[in-house]
Amino acid sequence: MNKQILLSPPDMSGQELEYIKETFRDNWIAPVGPNIDAFEEELADYVGVEYSVAVSSGTAGLHLALIAAGVGAGDVVFCQSFTFAASVNPILYQKAIPVLIDSEETSWNMSAELLEEALKKEKVKPKAVIVTHIYGQIAELKRIKQLCENYEVILIEDACESLGSVYHSQHTGTIGDIGVYSFNGNKIITTSGGGMVVTNNVFFAEKIRYLSTQAKSKAPFYLHEEIGYNYRLSNVLAGIGRGQLLSLDKKIEKRREIYSRYSDAFEEANIYLMPEECPGTKVNRWLSVILLPVGRPVQLMNFMKDRLIESRLTWNPMHRQPFLKNYSFYKTNKVAVSDRLFLTGLCLPSGSSLSQTEQEKVINTIKEFLIEENDL
């Protein structure tokens, strides 16, 4: 039986099991323990921040970041439309109001021009801006950060897909006021499920840690002065994260090699991939995305599925989601950039365990499809 080629499966280094064995040996099967403390320290050191808090998911991290930023009922939060729903849902958890912003062509992430337009036009100043680094691509952080500082708005980086991506010598997630990473099963490193919140602000760090442990006040009994959440990562999963972190640089290089092979293979056929890196940046290439004429991505996805190759359409923009249809959306063109990316983009197998033989099968399958469809 042929083995299925997956989009972005977990890639174990072998070190994870040693941490897990140690956890079982010492009976640290709990939401506290030495692995959590060490994982927080090791990741903070890797990305270069003062504080980090291990949580149960990237979504939980975004939720806590919004609470720490003071977002509550009726407040406004700006976020981008071309993203996963988990970037926006925490805004609604807080009964706040999302304002959706279209992407720019050069990064596929939030347009700084449209952010500035929204800041000028909206009657209520936002409490926070959430910028998402889609597929590891890096948003234009310099201008976005400057706008947030000018308007005194807290900048939250949804870096769930961009761990290891670097913007002018700084890791994504560390440039705004608060950053959030995800360790979901398909991310560049995984703890099965989990996430990390990072910041250089001691108030935000202490608030997020406090809230993630059911907001237990310091007292010799259970005292809760505000609503808390059961959002801590387990000690067992933190052990997996420690093992994964040891091989993160290798995983990034493997994914970058995979992107380069796709780029080289399709260049002669005038088939476009996601944007090249901007000067001064290094993208982790979490997923490689191919761009095709409208309608072709769905057809190619089904064509590859029949040949046991997993692929995925790009994000269906948030302004197209029924539960967000009544919220403001800022765009420049008649056809939004995010709409066009959804209609033309397809994510290709990009996992760091993808072999060259497997990638060649993916490339040849795509070329076979395009020849059959007379696109080559």
Q: Is 318 helix (H, G, I), strand (E, B) or coil?
A: helix
C-alpha to C-alpha distance for 5 and 265, rounded to whole angstroms: 18
DSSP result, 282-338:
E---SSEEEE-STTHHHHHHHHHHTTTB--EEPP--GGGSGGGTTS-EE-SSSS-HH
3-state secondary structure 223-241: CECCCCCECECCHHHHHHH
The model carries a pTM of: 0.96
Give the pLDDT of residue 1: 55
103: tokens are 């992407």
Q: What is the CA radius of gyration of the chain?
A: 21
- Which residues carry out catalysis? 187
C-alpha to C-alpha distance for 368 and 356, rounded to whole angstroms: 18
Beta bridge partners of 329: 100
Q: Which helix (H) or strand (E) holds 66?
A: helix 58-68
Give the pLDDT of residue 375: 65
Phi, psi of 261 (to 5 degrees): -65, -40
Q: How is domain 16-245 classified at the CATH fold level?
A: Aspartate Aminotransferase; domain 2 (3.40.640)
Domain boundaries, the chain: 16-245, 248-372
C-alpha to C-alpha distance for 184 and 162, rounded to whole angstroms: 13
Low-confidence ranges of the chain (pLDDT < 70): 1, 375-376
87: tokens are 């970037």
Angle at 217 between CA 158 and CA 49, to 5 degrees: 35
Give the pLDDT of residue 269: 78
116 CB-contact burial (10 Å; exposed 0-12 / middle 13-18 / buried 19+): middle
Q: How is domain 248-372 classified at the CATH fold level?
A: Aspartate Aminotransferase, domain 1 (3.90.1150)
Give the pLDDT of residue 326: 95
Percent of residues in the chain assigned helix, strand, coil, to nearest 5:
40, 15, 45
The total of other beta-carbon atoms located within 10 Å of residue 52's CB is 25
Residue with tokens 């696109």: 375
Give the pLDDT of residue 14: 87
